[in-house]
């Protein structure tokens, strides 16, 4: 409960610190199928940011400027810290649907980039590889999910839904990840400040050697290794969320510190 209490306490601060620029509130063009080196970018904002692409939208803009004709769209999900579990689950469902619908509309040659900040970064990881350690490793208090369990609730998720988040078996993991046929359309993925961060992975970037608040399960990490050449997960020492530290300032610094590098990585993968 300590982790969730911390998340709730920081909600008002984080909302003021990383509120999405007004320009990001405008829906991006997602109807056209891109061609050539262009890509379609699906973006999940950080917790408590206003609807839109959020702070990581600045990285998306850098990518689009280097890959003319590229398009982007924001994942529509609650992005709440309170409750967190149901919000993140909704984000995974929404991002998965956007990926599937784009590939269905634009064909096997579809080229997609996924990007997410904070809770949005966890959404990216869970979209690629199923539920993170938050659901499989966190001990849910008795009564969670019931109408009498205020203030914590799962906003309509059934017990069956909750049970399916258990990642202790390969079967449960498989139910929550993109099919191999569609995952091949992901040319790059960027995570910044992922609460399910696990250090020591080949796709990690930044200075952190500590696990996040909700570290991803071993099976989930193994799955992400399959995307290692296409994935970058940024986390620095001291980050309250991805490194279980004490600095909110570090958590909010990734676009300024690594934005250009992340964009260059995504562009290089798109051109590979």
pLDDT of residue 231: 98
The beta strand positions in the chain, using DSSP E, are: 40-44, 71-74, 112-117, 186-192, 204-205, 231-234
pLDDT of residue 132: 64
CB burial readout 90-113, b (16+ within 10 A) else e: bbbbbbbebbeebbeebeeebbbb
For 188-237, the pLDDT digits (tens) are: 999 999 999 999 999 999 999 999 999 999 999 999 999 999 999 999 99
Give the model's confidence band at 17: pLDDT under 50 very low, under 70 low, under 90 confident, else very high.
Answer: very low
Query: Would you kindly state where each structural domain of the chain is located, as residue ranges?
Result: 2-24+37-141+149-271
Residue 217's closest CA among 235, 233, 196, 199? 196
- Residue for token digits 């961060």? 197
| pLDDT of 111 strictly over 80 | yes
Give the model's confidence band at 152: pLDDT under 50 very low, under 70 low, under 90 confident, else very high.
Answer: very low
For 116-138, the pLDDT digits (tens) are: 999 999 999 999 998 765 544 34
**Model-level pTM greater than 0.75?**
yes
| pLDDT of 96 strictly over 80 | yes
Q: Which of 130-139, 167-176, 178-187 has the lowest mean pLDDT?
A: 167-176
| pLDDT of 25 strictly over 90 | no
Q: Which of 26-30, 134-138, 173-177 has the lowest mean pLDDT?
A: 134-138
Give the model's confidence band at 176: pLDDT under 50 very low, under 70 low, under 90 confident, else very high.
Answer: low
Angle between helices 119-129 and 218-225 (to 10 degrees): 80
pLDDT of residue 177: 64
Sheet strand arrangement including 40-44: 71-74, 40-44, 112-117, 186-192, 231-234, 204-205
| pLDDT of 82 strictly over 90 | no
- Under CATH, which number does the domain 2-24+37-141+149-271 receive? 3.40.50.1820
Specify the higher pLDDT residue, 71 or 163.
Answer: 71
What are the structure tokens assigned to 214, written together? 């909700």
pLDDT of residue 30: 61
């Amino acid at each position: 409960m300590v982790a969730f209490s911390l998340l709730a306490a920081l909600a008002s601060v984080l909302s003021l610190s990383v509120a999405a620029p007004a320009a990001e509130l405008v829906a991006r063009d997602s109807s056209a199928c891109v061609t050539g080196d262009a890509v379609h970018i699906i973006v999940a904002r950080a917790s408590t940011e206003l609807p839109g692409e959020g702070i990581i939208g600045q990285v998306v803009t850098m990518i689009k400027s280097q890959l003319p004709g590229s398009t982007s769209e924001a994942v529509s999900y609650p992005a709440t810290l309170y409750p967190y579990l149901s919000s993140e689950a909704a984000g995974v469902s929404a991002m998965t649907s956007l990926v599937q619908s784009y590939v269905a509309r634009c064909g096997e040659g579809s080229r997609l980039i996924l990007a997410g900040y904070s809770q949005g970064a966890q959404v990216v990881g869970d979209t690629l590889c199923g539920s993170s350690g938050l659901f499989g490793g966190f001990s849910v208090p008795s009564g969670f999910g019931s109408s009498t369990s205020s203030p914590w609730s799962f906003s309509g998720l059934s017990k069956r839904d909750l049970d399916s988040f258990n990642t202790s078996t390969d079967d449960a993991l498989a139910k929550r990840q993109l099919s191999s046929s569609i995952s091949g359309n992901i040319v790059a993925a960027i995570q910044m400040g992922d609460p399910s961060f696990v250090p020591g992975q080949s796709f990690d970037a930044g200075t952190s050697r500590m696990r996040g608040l909700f570290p991803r399960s071993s099976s989930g990490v193994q799955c992400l290794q399959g995307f290692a050449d296409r994935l970058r997960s940024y986390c620095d020492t001291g980050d309250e969320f991805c490194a279980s530290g004490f600095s909110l300032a570090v958590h909010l610094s990734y676009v300024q510190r690594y934005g250009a590098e992340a964009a260059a990585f995504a562009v290089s993968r798109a051109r590979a």
